[in-house]
Amino acid sequence: MPRNPSSNSGHTRADSLYIPATCRIEAVSELTPQEKLFRVSLPDGRPLGHRPGQFVQVSLLGWGEAPISVASSPTREGYFELGVRQAGTLTSAMHRLEPGDTLGIRGPFGNPFDLERMSGRDLLLISGGCGLAPLRSLIQYCEDRPEQFGRVCILYGAKSPADILFKEEIRTWEASASFACATTVDNLPGGACYEGQVGQVTRLIPPLEIDAPRTLAAIVGPPVMYRPVIDELKQKGLTEAQIAISLERHMRCGVGKCGHCTIEHLYCCSDGPVFWLSEVSGLRGAL
Partner 1 sequence: MKALTQTELETFLHALQPAWDVRAPIRLSDGTRALGRLEEGPLALLGGRIPRKPTDVFFAQQEKVFDALPDGSFRQEEPPQKPLFVLGFTAEDLECLEFIDRFFSSGFADDIYLRKRSGAVIGGLTGKCGSAGELLRIAGGTCDLELVFDGERFIVAAYSEAGEKLEAAMTCAESGASLEDLRRASEALPQDNRRLLEQASALLIAERVPDAFWAEIGERCIACTGCNLVCPTCTCFGVQDWRYPTHIERSRMWDSCQLDAFMREASGHNPLGSEALRTRRRIHHKLAADLRRWGHLTCYLCGRCDTTCPTGIGIVAVAREMVARHAGETARLQG
| List of residues contacting partner 1 (CB under 8 A) | 1-2, 4-5, 9, 12, 15-19, 22, 61-66, 87-88, 91, 222-223, 248-250, 252-253, 255-266, 270, 284-285
Between 65 and 122, whose beta carbon lies closer to partner 1?
Answer: 65
> CA 99, CA 46: separation in Å to the nearest integer?
18
Output the smallest distance, CB 94 to partner 1, in A.
12
Query: How big is the chain, counted in residues?
Result: 287
Strands laid side by side in the 102-109 sheet: 64-69, 55-60, 102-109, 21-30, 35-41, 80-85
Nearer to partner 1, 63 or 194 (CB): 63
* Nearest CB to partner 1, comparing residues 218 and 286: 286
Coil vs helix vs strand at 107: strand
**Cβ atoms within 10 Å of 120's Cβ, excluding its own:** 11
Cβ atoms of 255 and 283 closer than 8 Å:
no
Taking the complex as a whole, how short is the minimal distance between the CB of residue 158 and partner 1, in angstroms?
Answer: 15
Beta bridge partners of 244: 218, 276
Our CB check for partner 1 shows the closer of 52 and 107 to be 107
Question: Is the Cβ of residue 219 or residue 253 nearer to partner 1 in the bound state?
Answer: 253
The pairing of strands 243-246 and 262-263 is unpaired
* Helix-strand-coil split of the chain, %, nearest 5: 25, 30, 45
CB of 249 to partner 1, least distance (A): 7
- To the nearest whole angstrom, how small is the minimum distance from the Cβ of residue 96 to partner 1? 16
Q: Which of 142, 85, 95, 104 is nearest to 19 (CA)?
A: 104
109 forms bridges with which residues in the sheet? 55
Nearer to partner 1, 2 or 78 (CB): 2
**Shortest spacing between CB 110 and partner 1, in angstroms:** 12
Q: How far is the CB of 38 from partner 1 (least distance, A)?
A: 17
Nearer to partner 1 among residue 2 and residue 45 (C-beta): 2
Query: Of 126, 122, 173, whose CA–CA distance to 149 is shortest?
Result: 122
Shortest Å distance, C-beta 86 to partner 1: 9
Q: Are strands 152-158 and 122-128 parallel, antiparallel or unpaired?
A: parallel
